[in-house]
Structure 1
Amino acid sequence: MFISFLLFREERDYMPENTTVPNENHELITEELVRNGLQKDKGKNAELLSWNIKDFTNKGDGYTSFRNKCNALQHVKYKKGNEESQSEASYVVKLNPKRPPGPMTKMMESHVSTRRSVHKNLIESSSIKLLILTDIIGAMNEHLDRLNLEPLRTPKVFASSTEKGKESFVAENLRIQGFQMHDKRQAQDVHHALLVMEELGRFHASSLLLKESIEPKTFVEKYEHFEEPWFNADNDLFKVFLKMIESQTEESINILSTIPKYERCTKWLKAHKETFGLNFIDGFKPRKPFEVLVHGDCHTNNMLFKYNSMNEPVDMRFVDLQCTRLGSPASDIDYFAYSSLGGETRSKYFPKLLYTYYQSFSKVLLFARKKVPFTFKELEDEVEERKILGFVIGIMSLQFLLSEEDDVVDFGELREENMEEFNKKNKKNFKKLLEISGPFKDRFLSLFDDMLESHILYEN
């Protein structure tokens, strides 16, 4: 699990040199790390002069919160060669949060240690803050470059440290380039969603080119520790996660039971609430021909957008790729559709969004003179078949995305022995969200409007 910081190199009179906002995690930002990042970006003759640090992300930027946040803003000054004038720049830094021991901490530490060989390019997350990019995303970008196609829309990474307990990295600051997070309390509209689906298609297709290039080796064989030991239903730590989903399912039942329209949904959830969370794992399991590298955590807070003068989205970046794994392309598509889109957008535009994805996916493979492994109709069927993952994600994520900052659950403090306390807070939070007129109720109920029209209630 990692922490995010900004390294700013833009001069501000009110920011004294060589000062930091107190945070024990800041000690992981060493002069060597900053210098390496600076010189990778600006050239070997860039001389580091000073830097400052300030936390910058907010609690609740992800589904859950880790209270001892380590997101910061670092102000750095430098000069080049014999130049007398000073220059400034800005970088994001991710750090190990150095959490106290706990079940979720152990889970995340396990996840970090198993991904250390593939993490030199990195991206932000408010829960785990892991890296997986330089080796894998870098290799995917090489394939795109050979086809004269643009690189994947992810942040550039300039420097990193893999020392155990002191994992850290320096990446470009997309925010000063005009990128920003979409308001998590508002569902993305079709214009945002089109950009996301187009990039998902490129991401998945380029992973197939990489997969073929490393054969006969698999990703697990090529990239040491690629597997995720915690992503297993038999893992004791994952059971805490399953209990959390069960609690949220119970609250969903309480809400739906008061609305006759959703009687069938209520009965189905009651019959499956104890195993409902297992669909989170099953929903990602690949099966040929649907086997690509997926983002794995494809929701609105893990994307940044750039806007034109009319406030229309014109570009985007995926961030927080630490959950990248082998899966079905439908896993990312359903995950995104049910965590980040409203019911009206799904109802009106989903066929268009899915076709945009398929065109983008196919374009990369056709440029590479490769056969597209499935038809559009087969993709439609696969997305429908995996839709139950979308319902799990929707039930799990909406209250976290739409809650006030102080109501966001601290995932790092969640333990089996304090699940009763979590359940009470969860119930209170659901009630609070329902009492407030706003997007929660509409987006929440739209999940079950879709469920009523799906195959799930009739086949399980």
Structure 2
Amino acid sequence: MSDKNASPNIKSYEIITEDLVKETLQNDRGKNAELLSWELKDFTNKGDGYMSVITSIQVKFKENGEMFEKSYVAKLNPLRPKSSLNDLTEGAFYHEITILFNVIEDMNKELETLGLPRIKTPKIYSKTEEKEKEGFITENLRTQGFVLHDRMKGQDLNHALLVVEELGRFHASSLLLEETIAPKTFLETYDNFEEPYLEVNSPTFKPFEVLFTSQAEGAIKYLKSFPKYEKCVNWIKTNGPSFYKIYIEAFIPNKPFDVLVHGDSWTNNMLFKYDEKNKPIDIRFVDLQCSRKASPAVDLVYFFYTSLDGDVRSKYFNDLLFAYYQSFSRVLNLAQMTVPFSFKELQNEVEKRKIFGIVTGIFIVQGVLFASEDEIWDFNELTDDNIEEFTETQKKNAQKIGNREGPFKDRFLSLFDDMLESNVFWEETGVQRKNIS
């Protein structure tokens, strides 16, 4: 019934069984859908996913005497060699399944009660949570016209408005759900909501600690050629060893800034649909494995500093914040709930979180956005024994990216132009520091 030879022989594909495909089909089309055949076809590029294997399932089926074809997307445990990343990978799968299957579905019920559209994430049809066989299957958004934005190009205002408006609905609907489940919390209500691997001293986060530090070192080396950024170089020398800690501690919520966030809101985790004039008209958020309770400003600055060019960010920063705030407030007003913070308070919170935005910007822009196929981080090659070697390779790749002609220079330096203009970087960050020499 199946043909797995259509794709490379990847062990993760064995997670997809005929029973799982049947379950997917019937949850989508109903019990009358009869599975005839299925095959796997790859459609992603290196760099489109880092903590998983993603492939498509092409299905042929019969329904009410007629023949049909349909495509689904499977997200699977990459089944890497044993390392400290394994617990992180498995935990992220359990967590994302909980977010998509349970939390977002309950958020959707809150929105439907108000007559509002569902959260714009893929429909999920089946899952497997057996150890080392973790995965789930969703609708294939690409067959509906959704595509990734070119990660090397900053999003324009039209794209960014879709993003911030949907983030506003996402965050607000989590507050509706929080009120419904009270006095219980998200942690008490949903299994696998906790993320023990996202702690400063967690061994599972060690590879990312090393990567954050290496990206800081790469930024220092690059910026030294530009006297204008000497102040930024000194700041990174002092704070670079704590980048991973800044990242983790940014996700600690503080009332009233406490919502469910996407948590990984950069351009590769969004798909867009376009009209005949190539204007974006719809959006879907994907990759919810980092979704957690945090300040809404985390999603906003993460997006602003990883996915926008400097000119768009500087020109429309407050316009985008206001569009977000209107979308967020609209949902809560319809539910007759108090908006927990004013627009001015949101502006102040975002300003405080700019350090997190710059740290993620350095990490993503330098390490991912402009990397070629052979320079993309390949976590399949990372083990506990070769972290230092892996890091040295990434440093060399970062240097190659920096020396290459193209848009990298303007995009990267714009981060530090913003840094120079913001007072928050020249105040105490509240983290222990040791200099990068």
Can you list the C-alpha shifts for 1:10-44, whole angstroms capped at 9, x where unaligned?
xxxxxxx7322233322221121111111121121
Structure 1 position 417, deviation (Å): 4.3
Structure 1 position 418, deviation (Å): 2.7
CA contact (8 A) 1:153 1:318 kept: yes
What is the aligned counterpart of 2:77 among 96, 100, 125? 96
- Residue 269 of structure 1 aligns to which amino acid in structure 2? I
After TM superposition, the runs of 4+ consecutive aligned structure 1 residues lying more than 4 A away are: none
CA contact (8 A) 1:103 1:414 kept: no
CA distance in 2: counterparts of 1:235 and 1:173, whole angstroms: 35
CA distance in 2: counterparts of 1:431 and 1:97, whole angstroms: 28
Residue in structure 2 matched with residue 371 of structure 1 by the alignment: 338
CA contact (8 A) 2:90 2:134 kept: no
Residue in structure 1 matched with residue 86 of structure 2 by the alignment: 105
* 1:442 lines up with 2:410 in the alignment: yes
What is the aligned counterpart of 1:76 among 34, 59, 68? 59
Instruction: Name the SS of the counterpart of 2:74 in structure 1.
Output: strand
Structure 1 pair 136–174 and aligned structure 2 pair: CA distance change class (3 A) = same
* 1:391 lines up with 2:331 in the alignment: no
- Residue 31 of structure 2 aligns to which amino acid in structure 1? K
CA distance in 1: counterparts of 2:81 and 2:254, whole angstroms: 39
Residue in structure 2 matched with residue 48 of structure 1 by the alignment: 35
* 1:272 lines up with 2:239 in the alignment: yes
* 1:27 lines up with 2:6 in the alignment: no
Residue in structure 2 matched with residue 123 of structure 1 by the alignment: none
Mean alpha-carbon deviation: is it higher for 278-287 or for 268-277? 268-277
Alignment of 1:420-431 (within 5 A): 420-431=388-399
Instruction: Name the SS of the counterpart of 2:81 in structure 1.
Output: coil
Can you list the C-alpha shifts for 1:32-81, whole angstroms capped at 9, x where unaligned?
1111111121121111111111222111114xx46xx7432322111113
CA distance in 2: counterparts of 1:427 and 1:166, whole angstroms: 33
CA distance in 2: counterparts of 1:187 and 1:255, whole angstroms: 21
Residue in structure 2 matched with residue 411 of structure 1 by the alignment: 379
Structure 1 pair 416–32 and aligned structure 2 pair: CA distance change class (3 A) = closer
CA distance in 1: counterparts of 2:345 and 2:381, whole angstroms: 42
Instruction: Name the SS of the counterpart of 1:277 in structure 2.
Output: helix
Residue in structure 2 matched with residue 13 of structure 1 by the alignment: none
CA distance in 2: counterparts of 1:424 and 1:276, whole angstroms: 18
CA distance in 2: counterparts of 1:276 and 1:169, whole angstroms: 32
CA distance in 2: counterparts of 1:71 and 1:133, whole angstroms: 16
Q: What is the RMSD computed on CA atoms of the aligned residues?
A: 1.6
Residue in structure 2 matched with residue 14 of structure 1 by the alignment: none
Unaligned 5+ residue runs, structure 2? 429-437
CA distance in 1: counterparts of 2:221 and 2:384, whole angstroms: 23
CA distance in 2: counterparts of 1:317 and 1:387, whole angstroms: 25
- Residue 448 of structure 1 aligns to which amino acid in structure 2? F
CA distance in 2: counterparts of 1:412 and 1:330, whole angstroms: 32
Alignment of 1:341-356 (within 5 A): 341-356=308-323
What is the aligned counterpart of 1:214 among 178, 181, 185? 181
Instruction: Name the SS of the counterpart of 2:36 in structure 1.
Output: strand
CA contact (8 A) 1:286 1:328 kept: yes
Residue in structure 2 matched with residue 307 of structure 1 by the alignment: 274
CA contact (8 A) 2:81 2:380 kept: no
Structure 1 pair 427–97 and aligned structure 2 pair: CA distance change class (3 A) = closer
CA contact (8 A) 1:102 1:412 kept: no
Can you list the C-alpha shifts for 1:145-169, whole angstroms capped at 9, x where unaligned?
0000000000001122222222232
Mean alpha-carbon deviation: is it higher for 215-224 or for 296-305? 215-224
Instruction: Name the SS of the counterpart of 1:361 in structure 2.
Output: helix
Instruction: Name the SS of the counterpart of 2:414 in structure 1.
Output: helix
Instruction: Name the SS of the counterpart of 1:73 in structure 2.
Output: strand
CA contact (8 A) 2:261 2:292 kept: yes
- Residue 200 of structure 1 aligns to which amino acid in structure 2? L
CA distance in 2: counterparts of 1:241 and 1:70, whole angstroms: 19
Instruction: Name the SS of the counterpart of 2:281 in structure 1.
Output: strand
Instruction: Name the SS of the counterpart of 2:172 in structure 1.
Output: helix
Percent identity over paired residues: 52
CA contact (8 A) 1:303 1:317 kept: yes
Structure 1 position 412, deviation (Å): 4.0
CA distance in 2: counterparts of 1:259 and 1:394, whole angstroms: 19
Instruction: With the length of structure 2 as denominator, give the TM-score of the two structures.
Output: 0.93
- Residue 108 of structure 1 aligns to which amino acid in structure 2? T
Structure 1 position 456, deviation (Å): 2.7
CA contact (8 A) 2:351 2:424 kept: no
What is the aligned counterpart of 1:59 among 46, 63, 73? 46
Instruction: With the length of structure 1 as denominator, give the TM-score of the two structures.
Output: 0.89
Structure 1 position 416, deviation (Å): 5.5
Unaligned 5+ residue runs, structure 1? 1-16, 120-130
CA contact (8 A) 1:433 1:441 kept: no
Can you list the C-alpha shifts for 1:264-285, whole angstroms capped at 9, x where unaligned?
1111111222113211012121
Structure 1 pair 112–26 and aligned structure 2 pair: CA distance change class (3 A) = closer
Structure 1 position 218, deviation (Å): 0.8
* 1:243 lines up with 2:227 in the alignment: no
Instruction: Name the SS of the counterpart of 1:365 in structure 2.
Output: helix
Instruction: Name the SS of the counterpart of 1:48 in structure 2.
Output: strand
CA contact (8 A) 2:402 2:408 kept: yes
CA contact (8 A) 1:244 1:419 kept: no
Residue in structure 1 matched with residue 370 of structure 2 by the alignment: 402
Structure 1 pair 178–110 and aligned structure 2 pair: CA distance change class (3 A) = closer
CA contact (8 A) 1:33 1:169 kept: no
CA contact (8 A) 2:22 2:35 kept: yes
CA contact (8 A) 1:105 1:412 kept: no
- Residue 252 of structure 1 aligns to which amino acid in structure 2? A
CA contact (8 A) 2:60 2:68 kept: yes
Structure 1 position 415, deviation (Å): 4.5
Structure 1 position 136, deviation (Å): 0.3
Structure 1 position 86, deviation (Å): 1.1
* 1:286 lines up with 2:270 in the alignment: no
Mean alpha-carbon deviation: is it higher for 155-164 or for 138-147? 155-164
Structure 1 position 295, deviation (Å): 0.3
